[in-house]
């Protein structure tokens, strides 16, 4: 019978050492949902918010980044997508899941109310360190994405784009999209950085985790 490739003694150390950022991201717990601006938790500490059109893959990206399979529910359970959801990493740090934009089945009135809450959150939140913008690699830079990028550029708010579902394209095609969107960003929205991502295949998860570690000032010393 064949023995294991690694006995415990021989496992390379790197397999066991996890960065502090990953360690903390894995601790994410849902703590708070707000539908109105007045329901937001206290504006202290550091937070990074995830935004994107409905169905772009935001919940899947949050789950992959925190390595928690069911942290953020998928778009098929609308209740959770109608509010700003807070996930605590520690006393000082949060991830924030913003309402998916363009969810079809809500009334005009409710949509207006969200837009107002979202607007105020983006404009007033002191804890907000940056935005992770989720775009399906097959449908990048839709109207809402561009609106958010334009706002971030004028406000100097850092944005990092995840081009999700990269596994749906060949590697060459995905790189082609990455390059053309990057070119457009350099011209119009220089505040933004970008990477390929796949929650299904795990592509780009480590890069996104490292960025969150930096934005949330998770000490790696």
The distance of closest approach from Cβ of residue 100 to ligand GDP in the complex, given in angstroms and rounded to an integer, is: 5
**Segment interacting with ligand GDP, rule: CB under 6 A, options 6-14, 39-47, 56-64, 84-92:** 56-64
Strands (E), 123-212: 128-136, 159-164, 192-196
CA 207 – CA 212 distance, rounded (Å): 9
Nearer to ligand GDP, 45 or 74 (CB): 74
Helical H segments across 9-77, by residue range: 13-16, 20-25, 58-66
Nearer to ligand GDP, 167 or 188 (CB): 167
The distance of closest approach from Cβ of residue 65 to ligand GDP in the complex, given in angstroms and rounded to an integer, is: 12
User: With contacts defined by CB under 6 A, how many residues of the chain interact with ligand GDP?
Assistant: 18
Cα–Cα distances (Å) from 60 to 66, 124, 153, 206, in that order, read: 10, 27, 26, 15
- Positions 152 through 181 that interact with ligand GDP (CB under 6 A): 164-165, 167-168
Q: Does 83 bind ligand GDP (CB under 6 A)?
A: no
CA 152 – CA 111 distance, rounded (Å): 21
The distance of closest approach from Cβ of residue 52 to ligand GDP in the complex, given in angstroms and rounded to an integer, is: 6
| Cβ within 8 Å of residue 36, ≥6 positions away | 113, 117
Q: Are strands 159-164 and 93-97 parallel, antiparallel or unpaired?
A: unpaired
The distance of closest approach from Cβ of residue 10 to ligand GDP in the complex, given in angstroms and rounded to an integer, is: 34
Asked if residue 137 lies in contact with residue 165, where contact means CB atoms within 8 angstroms, the answer is: yes
- Ranked by CB distance to ligand GDP, the top (closest) residue is 75
Residue 23 structure tokens: 């360690």
**Segment interacting with ligand GDP, rule: CB under 6 A, options 1-9, 36-44, 151-159, 198-206:** 198-206
C-alpha angle 146-150-155 in degrees, rounded to nearest 5? 150
Nearer to ligand GDP, 59 or 66 (CB): 59
Q: Does 58 bind ligand GDP (CB under 6 A)?
A: yes
Interacting residues with ligand GDP (CB under 6 A): 52, 54-60, 74-75, 100, 164-165, 167-168, 198-200
């Amino acid at each position: 019978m064949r023995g294991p490739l690694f006995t415990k003694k021989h496992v390379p150390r790197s397999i066991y050492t996890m960065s502090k950022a990953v360690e903390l991201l894995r601790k994410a717990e849902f703590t708070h949902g707000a539908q109105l601006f007045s329901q937001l938790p206290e504006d202290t500490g550091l937070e990074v918010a995830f935004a994107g059109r409905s169905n772009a893959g935001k919940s899947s990206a949050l789950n992959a980044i925190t390595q928690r399979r069911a942290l953020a529910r998928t778009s098929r359970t609308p209740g959770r997508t109608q509010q700003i959801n807070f996930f605590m990493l520690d006393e000082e740090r949060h991830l924030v899941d913003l309402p998916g934009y363009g969810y079809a089945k809500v009334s005009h009135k409710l949509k207006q109310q969200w837009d107002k809450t979202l607007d105020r959150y983006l404009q007033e939140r002191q804890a907000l360190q940056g935005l992770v913008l989720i775009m399906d690699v097959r449908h990048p830079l839709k109207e809402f994405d561009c609106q958010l990028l334009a706002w971030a550029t004028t406000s100097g708010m850092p944005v990092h784009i995840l081009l999700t579902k990269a596994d749906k394209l060949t590697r060459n095609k995905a790189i082609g999209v990455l390059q053309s969107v990057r070119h457009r960003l350099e011209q119009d929205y220089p505040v933004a950085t970008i990477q390929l991502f796949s929650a299904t295949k795990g592509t780009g998860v480590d890069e996104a985790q490292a960025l969150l570690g930096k934005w949330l000032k998770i000490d790696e010393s």
